[in-house]
Amino acid sequence: MPAPAPRLGVRLPVAVTGILIVLIGGLLLMHSAIDLPVARAIDSLHVGGVAVVTDAVYNVLEPVGAVLIAALVACVVWWTRRSLRDAVALGVTVAVTWLPTGILKAVLDRPRPDSALLAHPFSPTQLDGSFPSGHVAFITALAATLVLLTAGSRAQRTMRLVAPLVALFVVGSILIDSVHFPTDVLASVIWSLTVAPLVWLLVGRALDRWWPARRQAGVPSR
């Protein structure tokens, strides 16, 4: 059963609300470490094999790795769906959703959790801004876009299960590393979950101009 066509009138206010929540939250938290006790408690898990795994997740999802992962997923989409249009839509949506968080990090420049106050700090110490988490923004944007891409298809049910589980695994890893405050992570989840659907819709509408066969088939952008 095809998914219903999305409405700009729904996704736009949701995205604006999410952006405002993140911006206001960032301004309120940029000089605050109010959730440091939570970060310190979670940091107690950053030992042994758990630390090896979570550190690897963080390192793999650094910007270069994230770009390579997005490109690989886009290639898989192109191959499995036989649609360059869908692959491009996925890549652009993830990029447009994710990259602005880097600007927010630089502007707000919230200090990272003080490694001297952590029992098992991540190494090396991260010196860039903490709010929001670029790693979490990326993986959440990718997961959300994959769910949107498969809406109305046979893969929908599987993707609705797998994509959130992968995102949650990454979120948990970032929290255990304590390279971000929990509020940094929450802000990124809010940002990507509210912004990605709007970007996907707008990118889809724009690309439909260049893929007339899809438009003529009456397949809506999701």
- Domain CATH code at residue 77: 1.20.144
Is residue 179 included in any domain, yes or no?
yes
Sign of CA dihedral 175, 34, 14, 71: negative
How many domains does the chain divide into? Answer: 1
Location of structure tokens 């996925």: 90
Determine the structural domain holding residue 187 and report its residue range: 36-210
Query: pLDDT class for 129, splitting at 50, 70, 90?
Result: confident
Is residue 196 included in any domain, yes or no?
yes
Is residue 217 included in any domain, yes or no?
no
Is residue 1 included in any domain, yes or no?
no
Question: Cα–Cα distance between 6 and 198 in angstroms, integer?
Answer: 9
Averaged pLDDT score across all residues of the chain: 89
Is residue 42 included in any domain, yes or no?
yes
Is residue 135 included in any domain, yes or no?
yes
Is residue 106 included in any domain, yes or no?
yes
Q: CB–CB of 147/163 below 8 Å?
A: yes
Look up the pTM and report it. Answer: 0.88
More confident residue, 126 or 140: 140
Q: Does 165 score more than 70 pLDDT?
A: yes
Question: 110-120 burial, b for 16+ CB within 10 Å, e for fewer?
Answer: bebbebeebeb
Is residue 137 included in any domain, yes or no?
yes
Question: Cα–Cα distance between 130 and 108 in angstroms, integer?
Answer: 9
